[in-house]
Structures are given as structure tokens and as C-alpha cells.
Amino acid sequence: MGAYSIVSVIILIICFFLILIVLVQNSKGGGLASNFSSSNQYMGVRKTADFLEKSTWILAVLLLVFSLVGVFAIPKTNRDNQAPQVKETNAPNTNSNTPTAPVKK
């Protein structure tokens, strides 16, 4: 497995977790934090929202970093192999009626 494949798999995993974290959040500050509304919770409402926000930022930065690493991990091709090769064949002319010189009218 090449470096590009490994980086691609890591990017997909980060995207999956980023989607999960964003879906858990509520745009108005509720989301998962609203489920922990009792005052005797260890993490409380605010700490859950802080955790989700920090997780979102960390995953977004990791996605950016691994995307940039992925650009450098793309396998490089040989410059000679990029242009298609045209092979000339010396096949005999099968049409005997073809004139060899231009015909004037």
C-alpha cells in the first residue's frame, strides 16, 4: 500500500468523524450539550460544547494538513511516459491503384 493510499484512508476517516461531530452539534448551542442539562454532571453543558467545538477545529485542521500531505504523496509519472507514443509501421500498401505522384487535370 502506497503513501497516497494511506493518506487517502486517513482523510476519509477524518471526514467521517468531522461529519459525526458536526451533526451532533446544534447550530443554536444545544445539540449534545442540551442532553446534559443537569447541574451535577461532571462535564456540564458548557464543557460539552467546548469539547465539540475544539474537536471540530482539530479535525478541520487535520483535514487541511492531510490534504496538503496528500498532494505531495501523489505518485509521480515519468515525463517520457506522459505523451502517447506513436509507432510508425512500414506496412506495404495494399491498394495498387493509388497513384504515387499527383495527377494534373
In angstroms, the CA 57 to CA 18 distance is 9
Q: Which of 10-14, 33-37, 60-64 has the lowest mean pLDDT?
A: 33-37
Q: Is 95 left (phi over 0), alpha (psi -120 to 50) or beta?
A: beta
Q: Is the pLDDT of residue 40 over 50?
A: no
pLDDT of the residue at 69: 92
Cα 45 vs. chain centroid, distance in angstroms?
A: 35
Tell which wins on pLDDT, 97 or 80: 97
The amino acid at 5:
S
The domain spans of the chain are: 3-75
Is the pLDDT at 76 greater than 50, yes or no? yes
From residue 56, alpha-carbon distances to 8, 16, 66, 88, 102 in Å are 20, 12, 15, 58, 75
With a pLDDT cut of 90, the percent of the chain lying above it is: 33
pTM check: above 0.95 = no
